[in-house]
Homo-oligomer: A and B are copies of this chain.
Amino acid sequence: MRLSRYFLPVLKETPSEAQIVSHRLMLRAGMIRQQAAGIYSWLPLGYKVLKKVEQIVHEEQQRAGHIPLLMPTLQSADLWRESGRYDDYGEEMLRITDRHGRDMLYGPTNEEMITDIFRSYVRSYKDLPLTLYHIQWKFRDEVRPRFGVMRGREFLMKDGYNFDLTVEDALHAYNRHLVSYIRTYERMGLQAIPMRADSGPIGGDDTHEFLVLADTGESEVFYDAAVTDIKLGKREIDYDSHEACHAVMEEFTSLYARTDETHDAALFEQVPEERRRVARGIEVGQIFFFGTKYSEVMGATVQGPDGKPTPVQMGSHGIGVSRLLGALIEANHDDKGIIWPEGVTPFHVGIVNLKQGDAEADGACEALYKSFEALGLEPLYDDRDERAGGKFATMDIIGLPWRITVGPRGLKNGVVEVTSRRTGESEELTPELAIAKIAKIYADL
A104 contacts partner chain B, Cβ-Cβ < 8 Å: yes
* A interface residues (Cβ-Cβ under 8 A, vs B): 5-7, 9, 30, 33, 35-37, 39-44, 46-48, 50, 65, 67-76, 79, 91, 94, 96, 98-99, 102, 104, 106, 113, 116-117, 120-122, 130, 132, 134, 137, 139, 141, 143, 153-154
What separation, in Å, do the CA atoms of A122 and B33 have in the docked complex? 14
- Cβ distance A89 to chain B, nearest Cβ, rounded Å: 12
Are B72 and A7 in touch, CB under 8 angstroms?
Answer: no
What separation, in Å, do the CA atoms of A76 and B113 have in the docked complex? 28
Are B69 and A36 in touch, CB under 8 angstroms?
Answer: no
Are B94 and A69 in touch, CB under 8 angstroms?
Answer: no
Question: A70: which of B42, B69, B130 is its contact (CB, 8 Å)?
Answer: B42
**Can you list the 10 inter-chain pairs with the closest CB atoms, starting with the nearest?**
A9-B121, A42-B70, A36-B76, A41-B71, A91-B99, A47-B70, A99-B141, A39-B72, A72-B154, A47-B69
Q: Which B residues are CB-close (under 8 A) to A104?
A: 36
Q: Which B residues are CB-close (under 8 A) to A46?
A: 69
Known: A35-B116, A36-B104. 7 other contacts (CB 8 A): A7-B67, A39-B72, A39-B75, A41-B69, A42-B69, A44-B132, A48-B68
- Cβ distance A141 to chain B, nearest Cβ, rounded Å: 5
Query: When A7-B132, A98-B141 are in contact, do A44 and B68 touch as well, CB less than 8 Å?
Result: yes
- Cβ distance A35 to chain B, nearest Cβ, rounded Å: 6
Closest to A126 in B: B4
Are A35 and B71 in touch, CB under 8 angstroms?
Answer: yes
- Cβ distance A157 to chain B, nearest Cβ, rounded Å: 14
Q: Which B residues are CB-close (under 8 A) to A50?
A: 70
- Cβ distance A64 to chain B, nearest Cβ, rounded Å: 12
Are B76 and A73 in touch, CB under 8 angstroms?
Answer: no
Are B76 and A35 in touch, CB under 8 angstroms?
Answer: yes
